[in-house]
Homo-oligomer: A and B are copies of this chain.
């Protein structure tokens, strides 16, 4: 029987005061959230409009009319068979949906980020803005609870007729996640109630019971969202619906076949549902396939449901899929999705560096998945991957000034190829300001602003520290309320210092308290200094146990060196190459520091030759790694010639953290360097 071993700590119990993450969170608060608000309102010059607020306003107006006129109000306003609409010569400008059909989720991700941000930085002005737009969103909700502006505006008679490709359940999921976050931050439940009503409506239309549609989401997220709703409301039906979505998925005959009989006839069998992870029941899946974001969201929901229902076989499926990803389908940067075709996982060990998709949102999905596995099993292997994805691909998704974003995170870039080779049309050599399909920037915002909820989890007698995010953490143990003051300097002196700042005894007995600190895979050794407190290592965590009182201190010091890494020989792309890492950061070469033609550089595989250097990148001081190497001398030669040994000159190679690349203009970059 699967057990919950840890749940995230309420963000209001944490005050992040971290060397590294506070700055990222402030970027989100000061840059991304306001920018995004303007984007939602189509006020960003030069960026594609979002239409999100506009759509909600139009929908609210329609809903009001519909309520006033009852059946007299026409149901169908606009054809619903168009995926992305733009305001070109509209016949009904007042009542037309614009943008991608999942545009509502722009708002939902924003409100979620706002919620998290408010837990750390109260901001009445921002809260007022949020309440205002929540009023609009709620006004758009239909009397029956339905709340997706695409169908409200266009044609309510068509709802739930294209679960495969339209994103109603996706929009529902994001709405719910935003609503839960905002409720938990502010205690205001208006949006949460709207999400509940929408959930109840969905529950009345989809499910195993007779008369209901046997459908499930084409783009997963509702599974996770329903679990959040269950956890905040305690209502079983949400967990049941999530569980239903998970187990119905991929059953034969395929629901998507029934929904799209013409397509089904053309295609033959369910192979094409790989993209949706709906090619077979999830418990029978053992390879991560299809659209990487969808996949990671599904697996996250599966892990949630496995934990809450104690379902061993579902947990086993999660473990198989986890292993498949991290052993065969993940970039060293924690990115997933090797191919732009379907923004999808490629086949096993196919991890091209220059053609990578490695979508920011997919890495975020992997963080979600890891975080949820940790709730069932506090094992550092999950947290190691979570950290890898977060510190590298997720952060790479945002510029150091918080003003531009990567959707795709390649591991090797030659700008000329991005510009001239259509196979690399998806690879941008510099971050973009905003996308029409703006999934990644707000997704980064909600993830970074809630990083502490990935860093910490708890059960009744233990506080788990998965990532090193300094700050004050209130932990209520059975026998004491403790305020931990945690300071990390993992990239400085390599320490995590934990001070018991307050300890108020409570309850009965002498049951000791535990704080469990993850020992990262990148530590080549570590020491725990905790006086007389007991400590032991279990599954990569040091459990430090005792009856703590004010002033007690623990210091964990990681032996942290520059590391030279290799990929499995099965990854032909990385053959003969090495990568450099230091602490949680994967490093890369940039042309800016190393000149053009990075493929001509070779680096030593001896990490003892490394030295560190402070480097300024766009006003930020980062720790660069300097390694000796060689540069092949260019020679005058024809395209093909008799083999002759190349000549090399010594070169000092400057590696910078991967997440800081492309902050100094367009230039070459590579993570995997010739040895």
Using a CB–CB cutoff of 8 Å, the interface residues on chain A facing chain B are 326-328, 330, 332, 339-342, 346-347, 350, 355, 414, 416-417, 420-423, 563-572, 575-576, 578-579, 597, 599-600, 605, 607, 632, 634-635, 637-646, 674-675
Question: Is the pair A339, B422 in contact by a Cβ cutoff of 8 Å?
Answer: yes
Contact of A421 among B339, B607, B637 (CB under 8 A): B339
Question: Is the pair B642, A565 in contact by a Cβ cutoff of 8 Å?
Answer: yes
Within 8 Å CB of A567, what residues of B?
A: 639-640
Given contacts A569-B600, A635-B569, A637-B569, whether A420 and B642 have CB atoms under 8 Å apart is no
| Minimum Cβ distance to chain B for residue A338 (Å) | 9
Within 8 Å CB of A639, what residues of B?
A: 326-328, 330, 567-568, 571
CA distance in complex: A340, B350 (Å)? 20
CA distance in complex: A360, B109 (Å)? 51
Question: Is the pair A578, B643 in contact by a Cβ cutoff of 8 Å?
Answer: yes
CA distance in complex: A168, B472 (Å)? 77
Question: Is the pair B421, A566 in contact by a Cβ cutoff of 8 Å?
Answer: no
Question: Is the pair A575, B599 in contact by a Cβ cutoff of 8 Å?
Answer: yes
Question: Is the pair A634, B421 in contact by a Cβ cutoff of 8 Å?
Answer: no
Within 8 Å CB of A599, what residues of B?
A: 572, 575
| Minimum Cβ distance to chain B for residue A313 (Å) | 26
Within 8 Å CB of A346, what residues of B?
A: 420-421
The closest CB in chain B to the CB of A602 belongs to B576
Question: Is the pair A642, B563 in contact by a Cβ cutoff of 8 Å?
Answer: yes
Within 8 Å CB of A572, what residues of B?
A: 414, 597, 599
| Minimum Cβ distance to chain B for residue A328 (Å) | 7
The closest CB in chain B to the CB of A421 belongs to B346
Question: Is the pair A423, B339 in contact by a Cβ cutoff of 8 Å?
Answer: yes
The closest CB in chain B to the CB of A646 belongs to B569
Apart from A327-B638, A565-B641: 15 A-B pairs, beta carbons within 8 A: A342-B422, A346-B421, A347-B416, A350-B417, A564-B642, A566-B642, A567-B639, A569-B635, A569-B637, A570-B597, A570-B634, A576-B576, A578-B643, A579-B640, A643-B675
9 sampled A-B residue pairs with Cβ under 8 A: A330-B639, A347-B417, A350-B420, A355-B423, A566-B640, A566-B642, A566-B643, A575-B674, A576-B576
CA distance in complex: A389, B346 (Å)? 33
Question: Is the pair B332, A566 in contact by a Cβ cutoff of 8 Å?
Answer: no
Given contacts A638-B327, A643-B605, whether A632 and B423 have CB atoms under 8 Å apart is no
The closest CB in chain B to the CB of A567 belongs to B640
Within 8 Å CB of A637, what residues of B?
A: 568-569
CA distance in complex: A102, B579 (Å)? 51
Question: Is the pair A632, B568 in contact by a Cβ cutoff of 8 Å?
Answer: no
The closest CB in chain B to the CB of A332 belongs to B640
| Minimum Cβ distance to chain B for residue A571 (Å) | 7
The closest CB in chain B to the CB of A636 belongs to B568
Contact of A644 among B566, B576, B642, B643 (CB under 8 A): B566
Within 8 Å CB of A328, what residues of B?
A: 639
The 4 closest A-B pairs by CB, nearest first: A341-B422, A572-B599, A347-B420, A564-B643
The closest CB in chain B to the CB of A578 belongs to B643
| Minimum Cβ distance to chain B for residue A511 (Å) | 39
Within 8 Å CB of A327, what residues of B?
A: 638-639
Within 8 Å CB of A355, what residues of B?
A: 423
CA distance in complex: A569, B601 (Å)? 11
Within 8 Å CB of A635, what residues of B?
A: 569
Within 8 Å CB of A332, what residues of B?
A: 640
CA distance in complex: A637, B569 (Å)? 9
CA distance in complex: A17, B213 (Å)? 74
| Minimum Cβ distance to chain B for residue A246 (Å) | 26
The closest CB in chain B to the CB of A346 belongs to B421
CA distance in complex: A645, B566 (Å)? 9
CA distance in complex: A330, B639 (Å)? 8
Within 8 Å CB of A675, what residues of B?
A: 643
CA distance in complex: A536, B419 (Å)? 49
| Minimum Cβ distance to chain B for residue A370 (Å) | 15
Question: Is the pair A674, B576 in contact by a Cβ cutoff of 8 Å?
Answer: yes
CA distance in complex: A646, B416 (Å)? 34
Question: Is the pair A341, B640 in contact by a Cβ cutoff of 8 Å?
Answer: no
Residue among A326, A327, A637, A643 having the largest count of chain B Cβ atoms under 10 Å = A643
CA distance in complex: A392, B122 (Å)? 71
Question: Is the pair A423, B421 in contact by a Cβ cutoff of 8 Å?
Answer: no
Within 8 Å CB of A565, what residues of B?
A: 640-643
Within 8 Å CB of A326, what residues of B?
A: 639
